[in-house]
Structure 1
């Protein structure tokens, strides 16, 4: 049984420092090469790998195995030429000595990339990586940093926030004259927001919204327009809520301002949600796919929730003497004449809550009725991924 003990040198450090051409084969030739490389560059780790090659071969000889010691080098200028040169020299060694297996000796991660080339030609029993003991921690750290910097996603996630932090801190200190504590607080806030942004995968959510918006624009869906209108109504509702809070003369705590904001903004926000759901329902109706019953019920639910929130916020504001009771003007309907009256306090709250509940029940009834009449209306999916009708059939 013949074992090839081969030392791999992908960048041809041995050839450049000694002027010898590889492969270098034989115990005496490799031992002489150790002296030549050591005299040319005593600090080169290649000396250690050559000595390790001789040590491994000597150990195999002590076990009565026939060994062939060789050093194979590549090319420093081109990695493709280097790999082809190594492959060619390995073919020569295998043709001349016909080894049954090989032991590969390397001293760097660069040389380790040649191992598959050896494995493709002869069975590799062992890979011996030589690391100089004094430089083990330094070399391991170097390769970890090199691998880290090669990963684009890790670079963007870690290095970009650190770089922005190092840039923002002196800018805050010089331009805005922030104290160190204020600057540190601002930077910590930004880093915390970034971590939450990545932790909750906000970028994936925004990317999904962008893809959905592109599909909607290209397919000409009605919901594109209704979403824009809904965004405008939402902005108007937020502005109305903020304007209502600003009119409070002496707001105490946070509860009353929150109720004022809800009271003034809920009609606009409910209108925005109703517009968006109506656009989505129109898209479902225009599309050839079956209409889901949840889309029919959604507008009723939106208005019902708006009524309930409006009723509760009006109740608390009326108790705080910030608004008066709801006044219904007189109306003459010919046969029926209605005089003006006021509804306030618990009565108004009850009217709004009961109205919201009744409206939600009407939505459920309408969706159920349309589902029974029109077979193109699809039932909403249940938790196990099927439909109600499927579960009944099972």
Structure 2
């Protein structure tokens, strides 16, 4: 849905930025300044770089920037940014590891020969060591990914495609991530075969997006950092009631509160019913009767021993299925798992032809449920 808001509807977000986004931009600015100065044979001191960071922070700060984690302040995030830049400076000084070609380089990646499918992006820094090129990416995130994640990363790998086309002398292109919160540098590489496969996969993803007519909503903890949260159907009502003097007077609030009250009572009643049922059965067994009488109602106890065959989760289920097929009973007593089939169909797990054949039998129905959960 965020993709739709941003790229299709082209909506202006109500939240300008989160503090994490702002901090990341200011750190990028400082490191871009460092390497631009170095290209001009000027080596700024660490303190000059920190001062530049602080000045840019103060100049560009806006009180509308969202701080999700209320236990931390703007100053905490500024201190983090200063720490990132300071540790980076100490680690790489005197900055002679390679030759810097450029910073914040805008590139276009051509995915097919005709140029129908193009992807663009910005490289934080491009370095070279003779015929080996390095794509550097600065990360201020508070998590350190596993190597497997980086080996599957699309962004820098797509950048590598553009660099190999623009710089024909490049024998290798290395992907380098700087995880500044941990003062760590992580690497990955791609073969030409892997890059070709990535092109094909990316084209397929683009085609799927272009053909997409529905954009399902997915609620997760990351919603707290989404700049479109105030207009998202999942959260819009929350923002509306927060602007009211008496939120409790809102019709929606009243309906949900009453619904939640009855649902809570329903659960308690159901537990009580099950407890009473067990006690009635126990009483009937003790007294040797098949019916227990109240003042106006009669409780009839019915019991019967039956045979149950293995379920799909039982260890011997497959053996049971094989035997039923062998006996020629499968067609008569098996049935389609409609729920599983419908889920796979909705998720487009079948190949095109199969999907289209199934579509002839699919009938659209609107299913409506209400789920309760904490805000």
TM-score (norm 2): 0.21
TM-score (norm 1): 0.21
Which has the larger Rg? 1
